[in-house]
Structures are given as C-alpha cells and as structure tokens.
Structure 1
Amino acid sequence: MRILLQLALILGICYAGDLIHDFTGIPVPGNILGMLILLLLLCLKIVKLEQIREISDFFLKRLAFFFLPPAIGLMLVGDDVKSEWPLLLFLCIAITVITMAATGWTVQLLNKKSKNKD
C-alpha cells in the first residue's frame, strides 16, 4: 500500500507540472516542470527522500524498460537513420564534447566560488 501512496505522490507532482505548463504556456514540457517541482520539494525538505525511496528504487531498477519505446521508434525510421548516419554521428560527438566542457566549466566555477567563501 505504501508504494501506491508513493506512486500517487510522484504522479501528482508530475500532473502539477503538466497543469503549470498548460495554464502558463511556459515553453518547458510539463514532465520537466514536474521533475523541477520534485527537486524543489526535496531540497526544501517538504518531501523527504524516505517518502519516495521505494518507488524511486523500483523505477531505477527498471530504467532500461523505459527506453524501449524510443528504441522501437528508431527501428521504425531505420532507413532515415541509415541515410543520415554521418550527420547523426557528428552531432552525437559534438553534443557530448559540449556537455563535457560545460560540465567541467560549471564544476570549476562552483569550486572557485566555494573556495572564495572559505
């Protein structure tokens, strides 16, 4: 029963993100807003990690299952992917490099700010 309550809490937060998206027109998907709301609630300790631990562990253990629909979608457009593979490969490499650089710069910036506080 406890898992159902935890699931209801997470789904309620996700639904709140969808409602915010629908009513405000913010150009961010509702599920992303829901994740940001959950992060905010966890950071402010309004929702305790123990309150959602079991359902979170359940989802994390089955994370690969959630990648099946996109994988099947890729199989359906396989011919398009085959014809554009050089561009896709370049984009994957470029985005990976950009993400690594942005992460590195962010960590360095946060480290400098942390050292300045001390």
Structure 2
Amino acid sequence: MPILVQLIVILGICLAGDLLHRYVGIPIPGNILGMLILLLLLCFKVIKVDHIKETSDFFLKRLPFFFLPPSIGIMVAGDEVMSQWPLLLILCIALTVVTMAATGWTVQLLAHKRKQQNTPSH
C-alpha cells in the first residue's frame, strides 16, 4: 500500500478517536481512543499490519522527536514541578512498585495457566 494511503489510514483513525472524544463525550483522550480503534481493527484483521507497516516504522524510528514538546513544557514549568518534587518522588516510587507487582502477578498467572495446559489430564 502506498505510504500516502497508509498515512491517511492512520490519521483517519486518529481523527475518529478525536471525534469520538469530542462529540460522543467519551472521557478518554482522543489519541488513546484512536490507538484503541487501531488495535481493534488490527485484532479483527480489518487492517493488516502490512497495510500500515512502512508509515508505522517511520513514526517509530522518530519516536523520541515526539517527546520533545512535553519535555520542553516540563522545563518551562520547572519551578512548579520542583516545588512538588517530594510528591512526584513518592508517586514515582509507588507507581514503580505497583507496576512491578502487577507485572509479577501477571507473569505468575500466565505461567500457571501454561503449566495447566501442558499437564496431561488423568
């Protein structure tokens, strides 16, 4: 599929997410809704990965570039961020612990499930 068509497909899905957020009032940001729509379209094979591969690879290779605006925004609001550093530190530590626990629990659950599937029934 030509790169321009791939770009139109990806931007169209992103626009659909924004429209859902704006006009239907779904309380999830439009860009997240767009990613969920794309995920569903890929899972149900409405869109194949090959249909958007070149454009997706282009964006993924330049992903750090997309972090520049938020990073600059944090630098501009540096005084406000620094005034809240104890709270931010506690949140970072707590969320790291929660993420590690959730990941460990998920791995244990999946390992247990796989072990049950591989064990022959009597």
TM-score (normalised: structure 1): 0.89
What aligned pairs does 1:50-65 form with structure 2 within 5 A after superposition? Answer: 50-65=50-65
Letter in 1 for 2:48: K
- Offset from partner CA, 1:11-47 (integer Å, 9 cap, x none): 1111111222223212111111110111111111111
1:87 CA displacement: 1.8
In the TM superposition, residue 117 of structure 1 has moved relative to its aligned partner by 4.3
The amino acid across from 1:32 in the alignment is I
Q: Which amino acid aligns with 2:81?
A: V
Percentage of matched positions with identical amino acids: 70
How many pairs align? 118
Write out per-residue CA displacement over residues 69-112 of structure 1, whole angstroms, 9 at most, x where no aligned residue. 01110111111122222221221121111112112212322333
Equivalent in the alignment of 1:2:
2
Aligned-partner SS, 1:27? coil
Structure 2 portions without partners, runs of 5+: none
SS of alignment partner, residue 13 of structure 1: helix
> What amino acid is aligned across from residue 105 of structure 1 in structure 2?
W
Cross-structure match for 1:91: 91
Q: Equivalences for 1:1-118 in 2 at 5 Å?
A: 2-118=2-118
SS at match of 1:39: helix
Cα separation, 2, equivalents of 1:29 and 1:73: 19
Deviation at 1:53, TM superposition (A): 0.7
Classify the secondary structure of the residue corresponding to 2:6: helix
1:7 maps to amino acid:
L
One-letter code of the match for 2:53? Answer: R
Rg larger for? 2
